[in-house]
């Protein structure tokens, strides 16, 4: 039987986050590899017909529901299996705390990296992006002091997302060992079976 879930991803991008969540929840999904430069899916399809803005992740779910935006996709998935505890119940104070952090990771960290992936920008723009990220990493490092997970003493959607974006430091000239707490946190999560599985399925080595 084909899976009712389909995830459009590109290896090592922010789509690794919902991919980890799928693995964490033990949900089967059809994984559609997408080239975000050519906007083609692996079978030669036009990805812009799936997302006119041409970015991953995109989740297609039962009933034809189509979602973009990582935090919406991962919350949808978490709510399919609430017993796994990846997101507190909707409407509870803890759910808003989770949403606060997902929004922080999305806007302050994820999008903070964007200039660093744009080789056309001048060095000053890259330096500015790194300097801004450093201030966010200082704050996160305090938040994670002595902790295995970001929130509620358990693995949540905040961890799959933060792990995904911290991985990018290795490719953008940021030495994560400057923040031993973040380095330790990231190294621990890398050993997690769902993370190992999702990275292997995407063919990511490091």
Chain contacts with ligand GSH (rule: CB under 6 A): 13-14, 36, 54-57, 68-70, 106
C-beta separation of 9 from 34 below 8 A: yes
Beta-carbon contacts of 85 under 8 Å, excluding residues fewer than 6 positions away, are: 154, 155, 156
- Tell me whether residue 79 or residue 142 sits nearer to ligand GSH (CB atom): 79
**Least distance in angstroms from the C-beta of 190 to ligand GSH:** 19
Which tokens is 19 given? Answer: 């991919």
- Tell me whether residue 73 or residue 150 sits nearer to ligand GSH (CB atom): 73
- Tell me whether residue 36 or residue 97 sits nearer to ligand GSH (CB atom): 36
Beta-carbon contacts of 38 under 8 Å, excluding residues fewer than 6 positions away, are: none
**Least distance in angstroms from the C-beta of 28 to ligand GSH:** 22
**Least distance in angstroms from the C-beta of 112 to ligand GSH:** 12
- Tell me whether residue 55 or residue 179 sits nearer to ligand GSH (CB atom): 55
Distance of alpha carbon 15 from alpha carbon 128, whole angstroms: 25
Q: In which residue are the tokens 């063919």 written?
A: 203
Distance of alpha carbon 99 from alpha carbon 38, whole angstroms: 32
**Least distance in angstroms from the C-beta of 90 to ligand GSH:** 20
């Amino acid at each position: 039987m084909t899976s009712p879930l389909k995830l459009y991803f590109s290896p090592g991008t922010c789509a690794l986050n919902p991919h980890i969540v799928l693995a964490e929840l033990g949900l089967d999904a059809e994984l559609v590899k997408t080239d975000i430069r050519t906007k083609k899916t692996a079978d030669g399809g036009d990805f812009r017909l799936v997302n006119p803005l041409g970015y991953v992740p995109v989740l297609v779910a039962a009933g034809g529901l189509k979602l973009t935006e990582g935090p919406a996709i991962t919350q949808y998935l978490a709510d399919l299996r609430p017993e796994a505890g990846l997101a507190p119940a909707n409407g509870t104070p803890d759910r808003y705390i989770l949403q606060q952090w997902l929004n922080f990771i999305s806007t302050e960290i994820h999008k903070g990296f964007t200039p660093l992936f744009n080789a056309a920008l001048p060095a000053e723009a890259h330096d500015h992006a790194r300097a801004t990220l450093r201030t966010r990493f200082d704050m996160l490092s305090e938040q994670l002091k002595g902790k295995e997970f970001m929130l509620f003493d358990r693995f949540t959607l905040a961890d799959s997302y933060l792990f995904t974006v911290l991985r990018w430091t290795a490719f953008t000239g940021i030495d994560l060992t400057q923040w031993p707490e973040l380095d330790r946190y990231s190294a621990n999560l890398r050993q997690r079976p769902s993370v190992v599985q999702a990275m292997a399925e995407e063919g990511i080595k490091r």
